[in-house]
Amino acid sequence: MRLVEISEGKAKILVPDQREYEREGKFDPAWAPVFYNTRMVFNRDISVLAVSVISPKNIVDALSATGIRGIRYYLETTPPQTLVLNDLDKGAIELIKANSERNGVNALVTNRDANSLLFETSADYVDVDPFGTPSPFILSSIKATRNNGHVAYTATDLSPLEGKAKMSCKRKYDAENSKLSFSKEVGVRVLIGKIAREAAILEKAVIPEIAFYKDYYYRVILKVKRGAKRADECLNNLGFYSECNNCGFSYEGKERIDRCPKCGSPMKTAGPLWLGNLYNMDFLTRMKEELKTRSYLQNFSKLDYFISLLIKEGKYNQHYFNLEFLSSKLRLNIPPKRKILECLGDASETHFDPKGIKTSKNFQETLSCIKGLNDR
């Protein structure tokens, strides 16, 4: 394997030379013997900020590939007392060892199946960053996370989560799904819903610190608390989203409904999914503080913008409204987003979708704004 050195954050690591694995001028990181994806730098940046807020004593990076994630946590936050970098692949292990040494990182490098490792270990912070769905690793990673510790998941399988691959969603997330006009938010909530149910098996509760969608993945970081009663309370946050394809009405609540209360048409449903908060506002504010001391990050401005937007939209827990969809149901033009935000007053843009808005106002009030602005 020919290697090249790259810089990311404060780390300088060796990765497979992309040129060796290109096919007809194209490159997919999965084609290289060890996985390194430049499109995930933002995911790792934001995770560095989260880990610096958490300041865990020990970290397990269960699916490390080149080791970049755990190495960055070590270099860019208060170094943990113990750092485990694990991967099943032997080639990855060679690279993790070389990269840890190159960066002066004191890590325990293990070559195990992530599940068998996680069932036998415990840590304050566990990172699960797999190919596709994290579902096969949820139970073991929750088991490994200590009381009041944190667990982080990346999911890149958007099709099941956003309702395109319905059977796959049923298999991987034990949830019904459909393509709704606000499916970007459905995805992250289906994912957390599944995590909450797996945690409950172990009499544990999860509380989201930050949960977001970006480019082609979801990322969620959750606090884990022990206790059957807490687990029961956590499950109280589960429910359903439904949307009427005829009049556009949407519903969220604990019970599923099949018929539209407005027009009687059948509704499309997604759930069980997480209806609770997606963000801990204090956690986000502290992440923004942590960012201030990290002007070396290439994504500095993007991160600042993104976290600020999460802080703004985090005020509204109701799912976002898709302005294009609602306008089409009304057979009206889409008013400029700025005007809608002004009309609603208590509202924000959302990171989920440039066509979306988050608001405390209900469906009818939002429709009224779209109608009113078309009448002018």
Ligand X SMILES: C[S@@+](CC[C@H](N)C(=O)[O-])C[C@H]1O[C@@H](n2cnc3c(N)ncnc32)[C@H](O)[C@@H]1O
> What are the residues binding Zn ion (CB under 5 A)?
244, 246-247, 249, 260, 262-263, 265
**Residue 114 interaction partner, one of Zn ion, ligand X, none, beta carbon < 5-8 Å per kind:** ligand X
**Residue 68 interaction partner, one of ligand X, Zn ion, none, beta carbon < 5-8 Å per kind:** ligand X
Q: Give the x/- contact pattern for ligand X in 277-316, rule: CB under 6 A.
A: ----------------------------------------
Q: Is residue 121 involved in binding ligand X (CB under 6 A)?
A: no
Q: Is residue 113 involved in binding ligand X (CB under 6 A)?
A: yes
Least distance from C-beta 310 to ligand X, angstroms?
A: 21
CA 207, CA 331: separation in Å to the nearest integer?
A: 40
Please give the annotated binding residues for S-adenosyl-L-methionine, written as ranges. Answer: 44, 69, 87, 113-114
Residue type, 86: N
Least distance from C-beta 276 to Zn ion, angstroms?
A: 26
Among 80, 130, 187, 356, binds ligand X (CB under 6 A): 130
**Residue 260 interaction partner, one of ligand X, Zn ion, none, beta carbon < 5-8 Å per kind:** Zn ion
**Residue 35 interaction partner, one of ligand X, Zn ion, none, beta carbon < 5-8 Å per kind:** ligand X
Helix axes 166-173, 183-201, angle to 10 degrees: 30
Among 15, 32, 60, 63, binds ligand X (CB under 6 A): 63
**Residue 249 interaction partner, one of ligand X, Zn ion, none, beta carbon < 5-8 Å per kind:** Zn ion
237: left (phi over 0), alpha (psi -120 to 50) or beta: alpha
Helix axes 90-102, 68-76, angle to 10 degrees: 20
Q: Is residue 64 involved in binding ligand X (CB under 6 A)?
A: yes
Among 20, 89, 174, 349, binds ligand X (CB under 6 A): 89
Q: How many residues line the site for ligand X (CB under 6 A)?
A: 19
Least distance from C-beta 113 to ligand X, angstroms?
A: 4
Q: 114 vs 210, which CB is nearer to ligand X? A: 114
Please give the annotated binding residues for Zn(2+), written as ranges. Answer: 244, 247, 260, 263
**Residue 92 interaction partner, one of Zn ion, ligand X, none, beta carbon < 5-8 Å per kind:** ligand X
Q: Which residues bind ligand X (CB under 6 A)?
A: 35-36, 40, 44, 63-66, 68-69, 87-89, 92, 113-114, 129-131
